[in-house]
Amino acid sequence: MSRPLTKQELHNLAMNHVGKDLEKRGFEFIAVNSKLKKHPQFVCIDKNSHYYFVIVKTVILPENPNNYDMVWMETFKKHARAKDAKVLYAGVGLGNPEGEDLPIYLDEEYLIEYNGIQFLETNFN
């Protein structure tokens, strides 16, 4: 019988989806940090050598993966400005297709809600 995925494994699953999306978009990875609550998860550069800090947030459906803590994000954007980097946000919702109260199991089907990468403006308001 399969076992439920841990929080770290769920986060890694979400990061794999986001990483593939970043690769398709032509980003080159400078650093990857898959530890929970360590930000950013990806440091990338684009073809023009601009730096991007990518935040990956994993939630369990039906929670909305596109929501994030705006106060914390402003602090993070300040950090990105200091490093001359842009901020990208990728919210990923995962769920069990058999019911929202059930865990997601290793090597079994799962639901995913991923609306792509959001560019977050780092300029001062």
**Considering its fold, how many domains does the chain have in total?**
1
* Per-residue pLDDT tens digits for 36-85: 989 999 999 999 999 999 999 999 999 999 999 999 999 999 999 999 99
Parent domain of 80: 7-120
With left for phi above 0 and alpha for psi between -120 and 50, is residue 107 left, alpha or beta? left
DSSP assigned state of 74:
H
pTM: 0.92
**Which CATH number belongs to the domain containing residue 93 in this structure?**
3.40.1350.10
Residue 95 has pLDDT above 90, yes or no: yes
pLDDT of residue 64: 97
Instruction: Tell me, yes or no, whether 41 lies in a domain.
Output: yes
Distance CA 58, CA 27 (A): 21
Instruction: Tell me, yes or no, whether 2 lies in a domain.
Output: no
Residue 5 has pLDDT above 90, yes or no: yes
* Per-residue pLDDT tens digits for 19-37: 999 999 999 999 999 999 8
